[in-house]
Amino acid sequence: MSLPRSLAVTILCASAFAGCVTPDEPTPPKAKLVTSEPKPEPAPPVDDPLKDDGVTRLANHGDDMTAGAVTPDGRLAATGSADLTVRVWDLATGKESRRFDGPILPVSCVAIAPDGLGLLAGSRDGTVFQWDLKTGKELTQLKESGRFVTAVTFSADGRQAVTGAQSGAIKLWDLKTGKVVKAFKGHQHAVNTLAISPDGKLLASGGDEGDAILWNLKSGEIKRKLGRAESWIKAVAFSPDGRLVATGGGDKAISIWDVATGRLEHAIEGQTGVLSRLRFIGGTRYLVAAGGSGEPTIRIFDVEGGSVVSRYAGHKGPITAVELDPDGMHLLSISLDETVRRWELPNLLKIQ
């Protein structure tokens, strides 16, 4: 059996940054830190707690897989590789349906447009390619991204793209003209992760210096800088209502911030490996944390209490994306082990 055709995944790929609050930006009032000690996990993980059709294995690239994304309708997956190609896979069969060439160095990140029709791929050669998934036509190349593109994402309307680079550069692009609309100045090191708020007005970024920054997407100005982590930031995620933003990375801790005030609302511990992806589910009540190098497991945390609600093990490589299945009953994940996995959610998280 194969994955249902109604799965959705959004993927962000990236690499880092730094900075401090702009001189004219008032420092947010110091807030009371709410730190939650995680409770023991209810049960040990099993090797592969999936239903019969819980895994789709993608045919091998010619080299290591480096990035991946899934179309909103769950029919196709796009993956980037060190073999200098981006490939599109039919998730019903696991077979390759289209291949794109162009990069002269390994592909570092990919993203699929909200309407499922456009594909972006960033490369270590500093170029971002845009293709039409339906026709296979190359639409444009963004060539001023800076050395080694490490993060890319579409705007909510799919008309613009945001890129991050190893140099610390972040740029907003018009995809019709291929021109830079705005450059974001404030990063000094690699940008590892990017996320756009649900209303499309804010950009969150995280990087190698351990800083997380909130930006005004339209003006390119820093809204505020959040507290510095003890290690690099690898994941940022807005809550569905845009009120909270979660950050995490190399220090294995998760910080949850109030977007409006910059106040640290919750600090969650319990992750034993480097974090690679974060995603809110159930509004702001629960947070999915996926592991990168060292421990490719998935944990679902209760945000208020910090306890582990559920844990999933089975991937053999870093997880590049997690998303809620449109059926409201399952979680979908993609890993550099070249698999797409479907996990059953605990009953309290299922959306009927």
pLDDT, tens digit, 9 for 90 and up, residues 17-40: 333 323 333 333 333 333 333 443
**Percent of the residues in the chain that have a pLDDT greater than 90, as a whole number:** 47
Q: Which two tokens stand for residue 314?
A: 């089975």
CA distance 68 to 82: 12
pLDDT band at residue 329 using 50, 70 and 90 as cut-offs = confident
Contact 28, 263 (CB under 8 A): yes
What the chain holds in terms of domains, given with CATH numbers, is 35-347 (2.130.10.10)
Range from 39-48, 121-130, 219-228, 298-307 carrying the lowest mean pLDDT? 39-48
Beta strands across the sheet bearing 233-238: 35-36, 264-268, 254-258, 244-249, 233-238
Of the two residues 51 and 80, the one the predictor is more confident about is: 80
Contact 55, 48 (CB under 8 A): yes
Range from 83-87, 206-210, 253-257 carrying the lowest mean pLDDT? 206-210
pLDDT of res. 258: 96
**At residue 15, what are phi and psi to the nearest 5 degrees?**
-175, 10
pLDDT of 49 above 80: no
pLDDT of 286 above 90: yes
Range from 2-6, 9-13, 110-114 carrying the lowest mean pLDDT? 9-13
pLDDT of res. 292: 80
Q: How confident is the model over 51-68, as a mean pLDDT?
A: 78
Q: How confident is the model over 76-99, as a mean pLDDT?
A: 90
Q: How confident is the model over 290-298, as a mean pLDDT?
A: 85
- Is 92 exposed, middle or buried (CB count within 10 Å of its CB: 0-12, 13-18, 19+)? middle
Contact 50, 343 (CB under 8 A): yes
Residue with tokens 């339906």, as numbered in its chain: 134
CA distances from 235 to 84, 90, 195 (A): 25, 28, 9
pLDDT of res. 146: 66
pLDDT of res. 145: 65
Of the two residues 255 and 273, the one the predictor is more confident about is: 255
pLDDT of res. 26: 37
Q: How confident is the model over 171-187, as a mean pLDDT?
A: 93
Q: Which two tokens stand for residue 213?
A: 């920054």
**Percent of the residues in the chain that have a pLDDT greater than 70, as a whole number:** 82
CA distance 251 to 343: 26
Taking alpha carbons only, the member of 169, 320, 303, 311 closest to residue 235 is: 320
pLDDT of 67 above 50: yes
Q: Give the model confidence (pLDDT) of 141-176 as tens digits.
A: 998 766 799 999 999 889 999 999 998 999 999 999
Say which DSSP state 89 is in: E
Q: How confident is the model over 202-227, as a mean pLDDT?
A: 92
pLDDT of 16 above 50: no
CA distance 128 to 123: 6
Residue with tokens 């998303």, as numbered in its chain: 323
Of the two residues 114 and 149, the one the predictor is more confident about is: 149
CA distance 339 to 16: 26
H or E element, residue 93: none
Question: What pTM was computed for the model?
Answer: 0.81
Taking alpha carbons only, the member of 244, 297, 305, 301 closest to residue 273 is: 297
Angle among Cα 200, 198, 178 to the nearest 5 degrees reads 35
Sign, Cα dihedral of 94, 95, 98, 100:
positive
Contact 50, 342 (CB under 8 A): yes
Contact 86, 335 (CB under 8 A): no
